[in-house]
Amino acid sequence: MPHFVEQAKTYSECVNKIRAKYGQDFKVLLERSVQKRGLFGVGSHEEIELTGTYGFAPQPQTERPSVSAPVDLETLKSQVIAAANKAVPSNTGDPSMQAVLKEIASLSGAVRSLNEKVDGSISGSAAKKSARNENNNHPSMQKLEDDLFNNEFSASFVKTILERARREFPLNELDDYEEVQKQVVQWIGEKISIYEEPEQPVQAKKKPRVVVLLGPPGVGKTTTLVKLATLYGELEGEQEGHLDWRKQVRLITLDRYRIGAEYQLEKYGEWMNIPVSVVDDYDGLKKVLALYKQEVDFILIDTIGRSPRNYAELGEMKAMLDACPAKTEYHLCVQASTKVGDLRDIIKQYEPFKYKSVIITKLDETDKAGNVISVLAEENKSVSFITTGQTVPSDIEPATVIRLLINLEGFAVDRHSLVDHFKDKAV
Ligand SMILES: Nc1nc2c(ncn2[C@@H]2O[C@H](COP(=O)(O)OP(=O)(O)O)[C@@H](O)[C@H]2O)c(=O)[nH]1
Ligand SMILES: [Mg+2]
């Protein structure tokens, strides 16, 4: 089957180019952004590149896409599991962990191939079908597509929203673009899932909540952990120069890969009057956790790593963290400005840790959150916190749907109607 590779400034421009050159029967297989250099390096800019095939007979609409498990995810998971088992021999035969990981792998595999099908978008038959819809060519549809891509939403996310718009907006409603936008903002909000913090059960003996922060280096884990410690600690006041906390919080850092600058957490601990423990291995972590078991409210664990692609290191870390109690809450930190493709990779690389939620860091550094919203929706992940600056402890807030929506660039956002629509998800 013949292939094409086309580049343009926007996704829709690129699709129009493909349509003009190769006709309606084409299928986009790969989307990536490429950096175009201007003359003498001046005016360099990003473009969308679409690769795909064309000139095939349209598939009947009823035909279902076949879902085959992608190989790379399986390989990746087994690398992490193998490394984890190697690091702690006593864990090698934990069949329940293996079963859970296997299940996660197959589920995310299925979700991923479905996403890839959707991302393959604009197949010949879909293009024909949309051509039949007269509202397809309405200028509002074009504008909506551009606005969504400008906010860095993924191709599959944009496609889903456009299809819904085609289905639900009659021609006369499309004339009022502001109304269209308001409605679309709600649809986007419906795709955002907010993490629900577990209730602290009232019990005679204290049982600490254990929270672990994961993520690639430099995303802001340590800074976020300190911000969380102050949120959870509930400041009582200051006495003789020491901060006083209503709740007992302890910080733990995994020492394995520390380099000079990483003594950061200990310095923060000293400043905040919150004890910090440094542990080296599974047994060390187990001991510290046992020590704190009945006397504290929160234990926050910082992790350190060189790269999420270093599977042996991820495996070792996983083996060490297996010392944590079953109810430990793992949060994955991702930087708001990360590109869609990289986000998908990171989300999958940390899957073996069974993290419950994602913390979006450095939202202050970008105006666009479509990338994060799309990938989290695709991968069924919820957001717990958003961090918005380097200042400790103030630059953190619990994630809300509205907080992410008001960041959308070029969209008319009606705050009141959103608060009304999302109620508790919004506060
Ligand atoms: N602009 C911005 N910078 C942040 C934020 N959170 C952390 N940083 C900065 O990012 C850098 C790396 O943070 P750090 O917590 O050491 O990252 P880690 O390697 O993941 O632990 C530091 O310079 C932080 O001050 C944030 O929300 N916004
Ligand atoms: Mg750190």
- What CATH number is given to the structural domain containing 280? 3.40.50.300
Q: Residue 422: its pLDDT value, please? A: 82
Asked whether residue 173 is domain-assigned, the answer is no
Cα 45 to Cα 6, 245, 259, 292, 367: the distances in Å are 16, 50, 36, 53, 17
Asked whether residue 161 is domain-assigned, the answer is no
In this structure, the answer to whether residues 49 and 115 fall within a common structural domain is: no
In this structure, the answer to whether residues 29 and 116 fall within a common structural domain is: no
Q: Considering its fold, how many domains does the chain have in total?
A: 2
Cα 308 to ligand 2 centre (Å):
14
Write the residue with the smallest CA distance to atom 17 of ligand 1.
220
In this structure, the answer to whether residues 49 and 81 fall within a common structural domain is: no
Most informative mutation of 223, 226, 385, 403 for ligand 1 (most atoms within 8 A of CB): 223
Atom of ligand 1 nearest to the CA of 361: 27
Q: Which ligand has the nearest atom to the CA of 388?
A: 1
Atom of ligand 1 nearest to the CA of 261: 16
In this structure, the answer to whether residues 199 and 84 fall within a common structural domain is: yes
In this structure, the answer to whether residues 14 and 104 fall within a common structural domain is: no
Asked whether residue 18 is domain-assigned, the answer is yes
Cα 247 to Cα 152, 205, 393, 398: the distances in Å are 40, 15, 16, 19
pLDDT in tens, the chain (427 residues): 677 788 888 888 888 888 888 887 777 767 777 777 655 545 677 788 887 777 764 433 333 333 333 335 455 556 655 655 555 434 434 454 454 444 434 444 444 444 444 444 444 344 434 433 556 778 999 999 999 999 999 999 999 999 999 999 988 898 999 999 999 999 999 999 999 887 766 665 668 999 999 999 899 999 999 999 999 998 888 887 788 898 999 999 986 555 554 577 888 888 889 999 989 889 999 999 999 987 899 999 999 877 777 888 888 899 999 999 999 999 999 999 999 999 999 999 999 999 989 999 999 999 889 999 999 999 999 999 999 999 988 899 999 999 999 888 888 777 888 888 887 565 4
Atom of ligand 1 nearest to the CA of 223: 15
Q: Provide the CATH number for the domain around residue 27.
A: 3.30.1660
Write the residue with the smallest CA distance to atom 13 of ligand 1.
220
Q: Residue 416: its pLDDT value, please? A: 82
Cα 409 to Cα 146, 149, 246, 365: the distances in Å are 11, 10, 40, 14
Q: Which ligand has the nearest atom to the CA of 304?
A: 2
In this structure, the answer to whether residues 345 and 256 fall within a common structural domain is: yes
Most informative mutation of 360, 390, 394 for ligand 1 (most atoms within 8 A of CB): 390
In this structure, the answer to whether residues 84 and 46 fall within a common structural domain is: no
Q: Which ligand has the nearest atom to the CA of 258?
A: 2
Asked whether residue 82 is domain-assigned, the answer is yes
* Nearest Cα residue to 386 out of 357, 412, 410: 357
- State the residue range of the domain holding 41: 1-57
In this structure, the answer to whether residues 3 and 127 fall within a common structural domain is: no
Write the residue with the smallest CA distance to atom 10 of ligand 1.
220
